[in-house]
Structure 1
């Protein structure tokens, strides 16, 4: 099993090495990076590359580790017992399999995505240590052990909203997806817009990277926002000449609302553009 990127996902050499190292070591791959740099998409493309199933587990602030194993639906069992349903005699009918259970019992080695793990409570990663290490867990209600017949490829993403416990980090192979440079970004854009005029691409990238370099931005525009912006430029048939910077780095590009996502950054940008014109 080897990952080299796909037609739809440009992976750097460092990222390819990280994915393959995690697969070889049979360790979870912990991926960090700016929002919009393709962390979640990485798991999808690894599954495609390996021709296997993707089992996504998207984490929320209310998610508990137990939900990834299984949940016992006691309410449904009580209701069915009141209705005289004979299936209440079998407690297994009320065990809801979680994402880890699905991954452990898959016919073919799957890719398990634990997405945005830093959204959950600080104890969430520690509560999964044993299960991810031993690849097994115990179901108390049915008194059975669920053990992985083959270790899934586990990819865990984090936006760095909170620090993860050291004990959890020790069990992972870590990779930080650095932001692409202009050459790499041009390759990524080419995947989405293979027929984009070179002049428009160059001018759009120039404006985009100039915007990212502005001091004081609360949120720098990401790769996904660049793709959205280019889609709008193509849809509106905006020529490259409109993007050419005549007033320095602070010239306002068209449709900049696709790039800037909060009012503080928009006000800062407009202020800097006004000062540059003066």
Structure 2
């Protein structure tokens, strides 16, 4: 690569001079279409023995607990299953330390209802329906009866409270929950329309009860930062995804960026494998490096390869 070509890839110069630039095309995995949910446009590569575990969970109607280091494709697996089985938009519940099962099932805006009811009375209008202030969460939406099951990703379960797995046991076992704010309504108000998590509209609940017709396809991911209780593990089918070896890495690069990418990436592959240890580098970091190389970026520039292939664990 000539010095002139190397200079062209720099869009930002840091010299305070405004310039008219055209951003290059984004990587395939960072392209978005307004009004359409993200879905895998390329095949998700998985070993047959791991695909068989996924199929076992599907047959048993049990949650699939996927463990493994960061960057092994745990979350992408959920999207791939939803895409291949045509289960519609993937519902996603990103777990954090404040996550509760109740919030994943539904949210009720009591303050908003009180405010709108007061305003309606002041205007001489009828009270708004309570369903206007109830919205099902991702887990609640997944349990709504439908002709085909929905797919739900419970992402990074080990980030949640230590009691969260046990709190999920009844819902996972029975596939049912109720909304107390609706079950207390009088019989003449037993049917209430509530909003769904995916903004597809509303569903009508009878006496505040949600009972699935088909248990949803649930994929739970964990980085292995915490052990789960035996009662929770008993209700899951477990899949441990290993870091891909060199052969699988080459297949992944080819699937995402084409066979020509491998010819330009031998040294990057070698650098990635040399630096990698479980949990310290992710496969998408290699894809990022190869994509930049194909776009003419000078990865020999000081510190640039280190910035792209940075360790995911340890001190910053």
1:84 partner SS: helix
Give the gaps of 5 or more residues in structure 1. Answer: 243-251, 267-278
Query: Aligned residue for 2:66?
Result: 31
Contact 1:6 1:45 in 2 (8 A): no
Contact 1:207 1:253 in 2 (8 A): no
Q: Deviations over 1:237-274 (max 9, x none)?
A: 559xx7xxxxxxxxx996221111479678xxxxxxxx
1:66 lines up with 2:94 in the alignment: no
Q: CA deviation at 1:148?
A: 0.1
Q: CA deviation at 1:38?
A: 1.0
Contact 2:254 2:261 in 1 (8 A): no
More helix by share: 1
Query: Aligned residue for 1:209?
Result: 273
Whole-angstrom CA distance in 1 between matches of 2:271 and 2:303: 7
Q: Deviations over 1:146-189 (max 9, x none)?
A: 10011111101111222222211111000110011110111011
1:96 partner SS: strand
Give the gaps of 5 or more residues in structure 2. Answer: 1-39, 184-207
TM (norm. structure 1) is 0.80
TM (norm. structure 2) is 0.71
Whole-angstrom CA distance in 2 between matches of 1:237 and 1:100: 43
Match of residue 134, structure 1, among 156, 167, 174: 174
Q: 1:205 to 1:212 in 2, by over 3 A?
A: same
1:223 lines up with 2:283 in the alignment: yes
Query: Aligned residue for 1:93?
Result: 132
1:31 partner SS: strand
Q: Deviations over 1:50-96 (max 9, x none)?
A: 01121111112211110111122111111122213556464333222
Query: Aligned residue for 1:275?
Result: none
Equivalent positions of 1:3-18 (< 5 A) are: 7-18=42-53
Whole-angstrom CA distance in 2 between matches of 1:208 and 1:74: 52
Query: Aligned residue for 1:103?
Result: 142
Contact 1:6 1:49 in 2 (8 A): no
Equivalent pairs counted in the alignment come to 247
Q: 1:87 to 1:127 in 2, by over 3 A?
A: farther
Q: Deviations over 1:98-117 (max 9, x none)?
A: 11221112533111111111
TM-align CA RMSD:
2.6
Match of residue 87, structure 2, among 31, 52, 55: 52
Q: 1:149 to 1:38 in 2, by over 3 A?
A: same
